A and B are shown apart, each in its own frame.
Chain A
Amino acid sequence: MSLTKEEIKKIAELARLELNDVEISKYQNQLGSVLDYIDMLKEADCSDLDILGLDLEDNFNRTREDQSVNWPEDEIKIALEQVNEKENGQVKVNRVM
């Protein structure tokens, strides 16, 4: 299975990745061969299953109160130091709307 250039471009757009032409043609081949390989799952018989990989035995929802917790000041300071653009202690981003 080979993906078209347009398909790769569409996936890259959905994934928010800017790719150059060399990358596009490289990923066309490489993703194609991985998808070919993955296709072997078609032959795996799962007709007797009534659950789909949801391990209900020991994975269950654990909920907690939805409340704000004060985080240590020094950790907040480090986190904010990572920000590209900030103003008055807030992250500044480009106009979205």
Chain B
Amino acid sequence: MSLDKITIREARKLLDDKKITSLELTDFFLKRISELDRNLKTCISVFIDSAREDARKADERIAQGEKGDLLGIPYLLKDIILTKGKKTTAASKMLENYIAPYDATVVKKLDQAGAILLGKTNLDEFAHGASTENSAFFITKNPWDITRVPGGSSGGSSAAVAADLCMFALGSDTGGSIRQPASFCGVTGLKPSYGRVSRFGLMAMTSSTDVIGPLTKNVEDAAIVLKIIAGEDKFDLTSSQKIVEDYLKNIDRAIKGLKIGVVKEFLSAELEEGVYSGILEAIEVFRKLGAEIIDISLPYNKYSIPVYYIITPSELSANLARLDGIRYGYSLKFNPKGQSVENINEIYAKNRGESFGPEAKRRIMLGTYVLSSGYYDAYYKKAMAVKEKIKQEFKNIFNQVDLIITPTSPHTAFKIGQQVNDPLKMYLEDVFVTGPSLAGLPAISMPAGFSKGLPFGLQIIADRFEEAKIFQAGFNYQKETDWHKKFPNI
């Protein structure tokens, strides 16, 4: 029986019908990882023994008649999410040998659900980036063209799903880090509403926008995973107390009459030609499905990148301040009696200076600068005000429409090395995806076509906690199209 490109829904049926075992499924992906990941470099760690052991346990649970959407389903995890007793590196030299003392809440939930952790995926160091080139260890390749980046920062997760190395992967999204790589790799990637998923055990970058979400082979699988990982957590007081909906209940309901906003200023000359025409086609699919297409405008969205690059560095410069090499992390050998390095600040500066990569340093310094005395009002306070305007703008639009459609990225995956020396250009990658992050809104990227042989995504944004609407629209779109069924030849 072929397990190639199998979805969670399909695997579930095979497992429940006893046609395959979780161990067989797990071995299938472990084998693919061992064969293909030498070239693709999606994984930082692979846990062969514990994955096989977990699969055997899942098989016992299934044999005892237990039901569960993710029982026995193998997945990969972005290596910025803590796993007890296993390395969690954030793709940083600072945490190269760090062993997490506890599991993140999402990991606990997936473990209880019986999902099988196969390994942990590469990312831009501390999730700072849009290409995964900022990993301190190695560059992940885009499975569609290995001379190109997979996007980022969840590039290991998106490339692994595209290369069919797992059934699903988790990523984190602060300003586009799930959606942009999903677009570049031709997979489905969901950023849930801010507060929908607990971040306990996710290394904090920008605490006001960080969210954990799934990368999957289709929209239905994203709904299945979100249902398991969402919910309130006493260890994360920003997690929402709102009841988690059954996202699958109405997922196949027709979208006739649904009002979908199209942002006219996003469909401009700055889009790659193939992306532009592809997005217009996608809009027509929604029209054919009975949706009402409405032109809208988001004039403040153009400020989302500058706002993001004030708020994000500000928050992460504080969040990364704890990394000093004393309690854990990269540490120079020093003599505590005080011969080699006398001054404690000098120890911090050396540990941090030697182990943070260039982008982490840039962002820490940018944050330190914009928060410094004399600049705080001009930068941080202004950014917070504009952020509020961006939020209000979305809020007003959602009084008129149910959903908003945009391209995920202005173009397809770029070449490795093409823009590593231009941080500003890299920041502009997220021009369509950062606004929803700042406003705390849920948004998905799903495959919408190819431009010169490379996949690109369509973004659907909904009002806060309206994930069900996104799933419904996405599910209907994927019933009409088969972009999500295309896989790279590797």
Binary CB contact string for chain B from 8 to 49 against chain A (1 if under 8 A, 0 otherwise): 000000000000000000000000000000000000000000
Known: A58-B240, A94-B347. A18 touches B99 (CB 8 A): no
Given contacts A16-B321, A44-B385, A83-B327, 12 further A-B contacts (CB under 8 A): A14-B368, A18-B350, A34-B423, A38-B379, A40-B303, A53-B383, A54-B388, A75-B102, A82-B98, A91-B326, A94-B334, A96-B344
| 27 pairs of residues in contact across A and B, judged by CB atoms under 8 Å | A8-B365, A11-B372, A12-B349, A12-B365, A14-B372, A15-B364, A16-B321, A16-B348, A17-B352, A17-B364, A17-B365, A18-B349, A18-B350, A30-B362, A37-B305, A40-B306, A41-B303, A44-B300, A46-B388, A52-B385, A54-B384, A55-B440, A75-B84, A75-B101, A82-B101, A84-B331, A96-B344
Find out whether the CB atom of B102 lies under 8 angstroms from the CB atom of A46. no
A11 adjacent to B365 (CB under 8 Å): yes
Contact B391 A55 (CB under 8 A): yes
Q: Which residues of B contact A95 (CB under 8 A)?
A: 338, 344
Cβ contact within 8 Å between B101 and A58: no
Task: Give the CA-CA distance A55 to B387 in the complex, in Å.
Answer: 10
> Is B65's CB within 8 Å of the partner chain A?
no
List chain B residues, Cβ under 8 A from A79: 101, 327-328
Provide the B377-421 mask, 1 if CB < 8 A to any CB of A, else 0: 001011111111101000000000000000000000000000000
Partner of B310, one of A16, A38, A49, A94: A38
The residue in B306, B321, B342, B383 that gathers the most chain A C-beta atoms within 10 A of its C-beta is B306
- Distance between B1 CB and nearest chain A CB, rounded to angstroms: 40
A11: chain B residues at CB < 8 Å are 365, 368-369, 372
Q: Can you name the residue of chain A whose Cβ is closest to the Cβ of B85?
A: A78
Q: Which bucket holds chain A's interface residue count?
A: 35 or more
User: Which one, A14, A16, A46, A72, contacts B385 given CB within 8 A?
Assistant: A46
Residue of A nearest to B306 (CB): A38
Complex CA–CA separation, A28 to B135 (angstroms): 23
Shortest Cβ distance from B328 into A: residue: A82
User: How many angstroms from the CA of A42 to the CA of B341 in the assembled complex?
Assistant: 44
Tell me the minimal C-beta distance from B393 to chain A in angstroms: 11
Partner of A15, one of B317, B341, B346, B387: B317
The smallest beta-carbon distance between B196 and chain A, in angstroms, is 11
Q: How far is the CA of A83 from the CA of B325 in the complex (A)?
A: 8
Q: Is B57 positioned at the interface, with any CB of A under 8 Å from its CB?
A: no
* Cβ–Cβ contact A38 & B344, under 8 A: no
A59, A81, A84: the one contacting B326 at CB < 8 Å is A84
- A19's partner among B344, B353, B423 (CB-CB below 8 A) is B353
Distance (whole angstroms) from the CB of A60 to the closest CB of chain B: 10
Residue of A nearest to B465 (CB): A58
Considering only residues 56-72 of chain B, those with a C-beta below 8 Å from chain A are: none
Q: State which of B101, B379, B387 has its C-beta within 8 Å of the C-beta of A78.
A: B101
Nearest-Cβ distance from residue A88 to partner chain B, whole angstroms: 14
In this complex, the member of A30, A39, A62 whose beta carbon has the largest number of chain B beta carbons within 10 angstroms is A30
- Does B287 sit within 8 A of A, measured CB to CB? no
Task: For residue A49, give the distance in angstroms from its CB to the closest CB of chain B.
Answer: 5
